[in-house]
Amino acid sequence: MAVDITDIKAILYTDKSFQLQERDVITVKTSPRVTKNSLKEIFKRYFNITPVKINSLNQRGKVKRFRGVKGKQNDFKKFYVWLPEGAKIPGLEV
């Protein structure tokens, strides 16, 4: 399965993720088909950084109502990526 940098949907910025970024951990939202190994390859190829550790979390989409019609948000996968000490990704500095 070929994954690309386009499978990374967003870098999450929440109170928890800001606290984690101070300890060199970034939170990444991806499509559900991305695996830990493929995300590690993306970081090696595009950012020249080898993550120390990666944890993943499958997040189901919420069921919502809009004008009386029931709908569901998309499922996604969330990764916590531990970067080596001192490694920074350009544009993501806190």
Are the beta carbons of 27 and 11 closer than 8 angstroms?
Answer: yes
Buried b (16+ CB within 10 A) or exposed e, 33-70: ebeeeebbebbeeebeeebeebeeeeeeeeeeeeeeee
| pLDDT tens-digit map of 52-65 | 999 999 999 999 99
Pick the CATH number of 5-82 from 3.40.30.10, 3.40.50.150, 3.30.70.330, 3.20.20.70: 3.30.70.330
Distance of CA 66 to the CA centre of its chain: 28
pTM: 0.84
| pLDDT tens-digit map of 66-89 | 899 999 999 999 999 999 988 878
